[in-house]
Amino acid sequence: DAGVTQSPTHLIKTRGQQVTLRCSPKSGHDTVSWYQQALGQGPQFIFQYYEEEERQRGNFPDRFSGHQFPNYSSELNVNALLLGDSALYLCASSLGTGPSPLHFGNGTRLTVT
Amino acid sequence: DQQVKQNSPSLSVQEGRISILNCDYTNSMFDYFLWYKKYPAEGPTFLISISSIKDKNEDGRFTVFLNKSAKHLSLHIVPSQPGDSAVYFCAAVRGSRDDKIIFGKGTRLHILP
């Protein structure tokens, strides 16, 4: 039973570029959430996708966008990269009504130079 | 605006003794709380949760206590083992599957031999 998988594991981009990160949820899960974890901080909620729609959004600018596909996999896109976007990006999946624990992938480490 | 606060960045505990990790929250609308554990280069892993209708939940060596009046929860690990050395995140949510989970900054636990 595959858990949450993310690709790539590491990425180096230049300021101003665009990046796409990918996530496949745990088998049987239908909801995908994206988090940003800066150094020394806890994960910060970016947005959540369910039924191919953005259902919740955290305090992130419109440069951050996403998509969920019919197979429940998801992409996170960041445009016009800033140095401050350097962080670990975590994808998490979940299932069911009511609160349910998130299952996290190992993350994508993005470095913006 | 830190709604979930973990005021101890790190904690060292002798192997075999009890580890107590603390967490405070400010939003009285939170009604479901979770603890996650994170090893380097891995995503956070769900440990244990508690609903606001309870004041204690146990799972093996892990017990979470909730004091709603003080808006405080704690994670007890007994006995502490070397494999428990990790970063522990406290998280809270308002109980709807559509709502985002808010994480604290984490506490790094070192288990000393």
Mean pLDDT score, B27-43: 92
> What pLDDT does B39 receive?
95
The pLDDT score that the predictor gives to residue B2 is: 82
User: What residues in chain B have their Cβ under 8 A from chain A's Cβ atoms?
Assistant: 4, 6, 32, 34, 36, 41-46, 49, 89, 91, 93, 95-106
Which amino acid makes up residue A74? S
> Which of B37, B50, B59, B97 should we substitute to test contact with A (largest number of A Cβ atoms within 10 Å)?
B97
- d(Cα B80, Cα B11) in Å, to the nearest integer? 12
| Mean of pLDDT values over B96-103 | 75
B7: left (phi over 0), alpha (psi -120 to 50) or beta: alpha
pLDDT tens-digit map of B53-64 = 999 999 999 999
**Using the beta-carbon criterion (under 8 Å), do A99 and B4 form an inter-chain contact?**
no
**The token pair that represents A25 in the structure block:** 């949820």
pLDDT on residue B94: 85
pLDDT at B98 over 80: no
* pLDDT confidence tier of residue B34, bands split at 50, 70 and 90: very high
Confidence at residue B96, expressed as pLDDT on a 0 to 100 scale: 60
Binary contact (A33, B101; C-beta < 8 A): yes
Q: Nearest residue on chain B to A57, judged by CA atoms?
A: B100
Rounded-to-integer distance, Cα B49 and Cα A104, Å? 16
**pLDDT tens column, B5-32:** 999 999 999 999 999 999 999 999 898 9
- Residue A98 pLDDT: 56
Measured between alpha carbons, how far is A15 from B27 in angstroms, rounded to an integer?
36
Element (H, E) at B40: none
Which residue in B6, B98, B101 is closest to A102 by CB distance? B101
* pLDDT exceeds cutoff 70 at B74: yes
A97 pLDDT above the threshold of 80:
no
